[in-house]
Amino acid sequence: MTEIAARLAAVQEAIAAAERRAGREGEVTLVAVTKTVAPERIREAYDAGQRVFGENRVQEGLVKIAELAPSMSDAQWHLIGHLQTNKARRAARSFSLVASVDTVRLAEILDDAAMQAGRVLPILLEVNVAGEASKSGFAPDAIEDTVRSLLGRRHLSLDGLMTVAPLAGDPEEVRPVFRQLRDLRDRIRETLPVTGFHELSMGMTGDFPVAIEEGATMVRIGRAIFGARGETT
């Protein structure tokens, strides 16, 4: 077993343990974050069974997808980083899901691009739950109106919500952030005519067990699988 395979197995077990504590089983998708990770290391994770990968930048992701697609044909690629509107059309053509839609205008461009590509593009709406000035995303009190405004977009699949929690020394400090995102998702499902809208992408290497306990359906983990950035072994 390679080092990456061993790390991946440990993360998978930690996810399963958190699911058991929450009374859930097999509901969480692991998104392996591959920002700055070399293609050969991504392929190691794929060979160990990982199938969903997350890229922060469009151009870096497109290069890796082009290189790895022939040998990783069933891999899914999520765009999880901030997406500029001038790169939205390329993202809509190439990524399985865009997890960081933070403006209505961006959603509209993605809808148009998906129409031109002849596909329905799954998206998540990014919510800045903690109201951090350094982060993008919709304000929590704006998310219902945002969903309402996008319901008629035929080439977008509104799959749920995403957030990036504040950095904290103790994961318990950000538990309320995850709980609030879950409550937002549940309220939208109860009050608006959405189909699906199940996903909650929240939790990273430092806090993903707490996020799962609070309802995460996707966790975005890089360092625990591939090591710190710049690590090669």
Which one, of 99, 92, 88, lies nearest residue 119 by Cα? 92
| Residue 1, pLDDT score | 85
- The whole-number pLDDT of residue 160 equals 98
Classify residue 8: in a domain, yes or no: yes
The pLDDT score that the predictor gives to residue 214 is 98
Residue 232 lies inside a defined structural domain of this protein: no
CA neighbor of 60 nearest in space, from 76, 40, 36: 36
Q: Is residue 116 part of a domain?
A: yes
Quote the domain boundaries for residue 141: 3-226
What CATH number does the domain containing 168 carry? 3.20.20.10
pLDDT tens for residues 42-58? 999 999 999 999 999 99
Domain count within the chain: 1
- 152 has which bridge partners? none
Q: 123 and 131 in contact (C-beta within 8 Å)? A: no
pLDDT of res. 233: 38
Within the chain, which residues score under 50 in pLDDT? 232-233
Residue 231 within a domain? no
In the prediction, which pLDDT does 231 show? 53
**CA dihedral sign of residues 153, 83, 203, 49:** positive
Q: Examine residue 25 and state whether it is found in any structural domain, yes or no.
A: yes
User: How much of the chain, in percent, has pLDDT values that exceed 70?
Assistant: 98
Residue 232's pLDDT is 44
Q: From start to end of the chain, where are the E strands? A: 29-33, 52-55, 76-79, 97-101, 121-126, 156-162, 199-201, 218-221
Provide the pLDDT for residue 9.
98
Is there a contact between 217 and 27 (Cβ–Cβ < 8 Å)? yes
Residues 133, 138, 140, 142: what is their CA dihedral angle, to the nearest 10 degrees?
130
Cα–Cα nearest to 34, from 11, 50, 47, 12:
50
